[in-house]
Amino acid sequence: MNVYEAITKRRSIRRFKDKAVPIEALEKCIDAARLAPSGRNQQVCKYIVVNDAKVLPGVFENIGGSAKLPPDKGGPRPEQSPKAYTIVLINKKLEGDANRRRITLYDAGMAAENIILTALEQGLGCCPILMFNEGDLKLILEIPDDYDIALVIAMGYPDESPTADVFKDSTNIYVDEKNLRHVPKRKLADIIHRNGF
């Protein structure tokens, strides 16, 4: 699979097979994150990978958004909940000054895409999640005060195949009567400006 193919195939996955994710697969994703672009090459991110069945439910309790919708609205049945997570952390000491958060969030985002594409290559689906309860996650995962959570990435073997549709009048994602998720994407012609706006 080449890079463009991977990018076009990737969709956010919120329903997963009841199959454990090996730690080696997660480690490969973090190795890809390690090599991502980083402002001033400061590499302020650290990562917690979670694949222990005893730890997964506590993380699931503390995430939200579409990943937690009822099954008939596109959310997972209990057995389809994520089978792994990557928690992307920002080291506040390395970041130094809170004004740099504007930059370090880009670091986290670029690292996240590396993680998601490396997961895809290994047959894993992902969903980036910004709706999470940071306080409780920090307690459960014993995250020191020097770190903030930038992003949670839910992971597992996909148990759904969302489609990228051509945008018509709304960017809202929806599930149809067959419980298939549709993700409208704006057309190239609607977003590109050549050699000036």
Ligand X SMILES: Cc1cc2nc3c(=O)[nH]c(=O)nc-3n(C[C@H](O)[C@H](O)[C@H](O)COP(=O)(O)O)c2cc1C
**Which residues bind to ligand X, rule: CB under 6 A?**
11-12, 14, 64-67, 127-131, 162, 173, 183
CB of 50 to ligand X, least distance (A): 17
In the structure encoding, which two tokens stand for residue 145, read together? 């005060």
133: helix, strand or coil: coil
Given the complex with ligand X, which of 1 and 131 has the nearer CB atom? 131
Task: Give whichever of 9 and 22 is closer to ligand X, judged by the CB atom.
Answer: 9
How many residues can be counted in the chain? 197
CA distance 77 to 56: 15
Q: How far is the CB of 195 from ligand X (least distance, A)?
A: 28
Residues 6+ apart with CB under 8 A from 8: 164
Show the CA angle centred on residue 57, arms to residues 174 and 70, nearest 5°: 25
Residue whose beta carbon is closest to ligand X: 65
Assigned token pair, 133: 């309860």
- In the bound complex, what is the minimum distance in angstroms from residue 130's beta carbon to ligand X? 4
Measured from the CB atom, is 14 or 92 closer to ligand X? 14
The DSSP bridge partners found for residue 148 are 90
CB of residue 196 vs ligand X: minimum separation in angstroms?
Answer: 28
Residue with Cβ nearer ligand X (55 or 113): 113
Distances (CA, A) of 163 to 6, 120, 158: 14, 15, 13
Give the Cβ contact number of residue 66 at 10 Å.
16
Nearer to ligand X, 30 or 120 (CB): 120
CB of 151 to ligand X, least distance (A): 7
